[in-house]
Amino acid sequence: MLCAISGEPPQEPVANKNTGTVFEKRLITAHISQNGTDPTTNEPLSADDLIDLQSSRIVRPRPPHITSIPALLGVFQNEWDALALESFQLQQQLQQTRQELSTALYQNDAAVRVIARLTRERDEARSALAKVGVTEASAGGDEMVDSTGLSDELQKVVDVTHEKLSKTRRKRPVPEDWATEEDIQSFKPEGIDSDEAKGAQAIAIDAARDLVLFGGADGSAQAYSIEQEKPLHVFEGDGGKVTDVVWSGARAIIASSTGAVRVYDDGNEIEKFEQHAGSAVAVAMHPSGDILGSVGVDKSIVFYDITSSKIASQIFTNSALTAAAFHPDGNLFAAGGADGQIKIFDVKTGSSAAEFDTTSSIQSLAFSENGIWLASVSKGESSITIWDLRKMAQIKGLDAGSPVSSIRWDYTGQFLAIASSSGVTVFQYSKSSKEWSETLKAAVPCVAAEWGQQAKSLVVLSKKGALAKLS
């Protein structure tokens, strides 16, 4: 009984039930799967047509060609040749795989480069979009603004102011009638009968005239006389929330969430700047009184020439800005960013002078009158950081115990007033002992605080927008 395909005795014999032809099951099954016919007749054949046959297992005799040593050597030679051929084929496959991997890595690297370029172009486009501002002048046609620095006239103002103030600052004594530690420790809260400005978050004091400037969420603001216990002027806004206020001599300056910065004199609006493409978050006045600075969510700093009512310069940064302050000598301007970075610029040229990193968005900034310290606080935090401009490093941390809204130094640089959700705290720095101490802790929750004349009082703004006085 021989297999019709191999011609050898089958190990697992099966027969075609139609023709009786005997096959090796392994061979005929493979043939049917490929062709579906009987290899001897070419007639259709399926596995169901096969019948298993019972037979005794056959032990194959050793082939005659491997019964001698030369024959065995021939077999080994053939096996070696097959092994060498298989090794060569594997090496070819390995080389091909390496080439495919190299091509895939090159394509991946090219894709990464393209993605990086597109990301950079996207960021540049976003930055350019953020720098788009309102270029319409308020009174006399269109006005082009850049960040090349201040004009020669304003640079001279900065130089003169810096030279005048910096020479006397270190040797300047504390005025004889200035508030002492004992005076501040005795401060008690007194109510001020003023109308509430809901949503108000900033105040400014004209100490010489005892006027408090503040505004609310409806866009209106008022100059309130503490002495006369009534508002002297009411300023109607444009519907945007009042974000910050400052005095420029007798002029009231009000920033709005619409991006407008308005200037009022004797209750009348005399100028309106709309340079920010978004909310104007904070404003600050130069010590000379001739230059105003504002920052906004459009990532820009705008300097205004108050005397000529023109835009003096505009500086763009890489983050929305949330706080602003001029150095007491007038040569530096600090801007706090939503990215937690404090950016300090040269006022004349607009170039970056220094940077300090904090943990989160800057809430408030204040330069000390000693000219070498900058105080900052981040949004939602109770800790105030004191930076040394000479060492370019943090030198002290003060804890108010609750989230801080604003911070203000007094004229002498020895008292730091802190407005927080739990009340007003005043820290004192002693030059003789070089130590900090807590001078006042008043449970008057507020969002802003300003020093009164000779630091003998503090005017605070409550969360409801009402004024109060500590004296």
- pLDDT tens, residue by residue, 342-376: 999 999 988 888 899 998 999 999 999 888 899 99
d(CA 70, CA 42): 42
H-assigned helices in 36-68: none
Burial 264-295, CB ≥16 within 10 A → b, else e: beeeeeebebbbbbbbbbbbbbbbbbbbbbbb
3-class DSSP state for residue 301? strand
Q: How confident is the model at residue 438 (pLDDT cuts 50, 70, 90)?
A: very high
Residue 24 CA, distance from chain mean position: 77
What local confidence, expressed as pLDDT, does residue 207 receive? 76
Mean pLDDT of 34-55: 89
d(CA 74, CA 109): 52
What local confidence, expressed as pLDDT, does residue 144 receive? 38
Evaluate if residue 132 carries a pLDDT over 70: no
d(CA 351, CA 258): 27
d(CA 53, CA 73): 39
3-class DSSP state for residue 353? strand
Q: How many beta carbons lie within 10 A of that of residue 179, not counting itself?
A: 24
DSSP 65: G
How is 232-243 classified by DSSP, letter by letter? Answer: EEEE---SSPEE
Query: What's the mean per-residue pLDDT of the chain?
Result: 86
Two tokens, residue 365:
């900034």
d(CA 203, CA 246): 8
Mean pLDDT of 302-312: 91
Evaluate if residue 177 carries a pLDDT over 80: yes
pTM for this one? 0.68
Sequence length of the chain is: 471
Q: How many beta carbons lie within 10 A of that of residue 85, not counting itself?
A: 10
Is the model more confident about 194 or about 463? 463
Phi-psi region of 171 (alpha: psi -120 to 50; beta: other; left: phi over 0): alpha
| Structure confidence by residue, pLDDT tens digits, 291-300 | 999 999 999 9
Lowest mean pLDDT among 241-245, 287-291, 460-464: 460-464
What local confidence, expressed as pLDDT, does residue 143 receive? 37
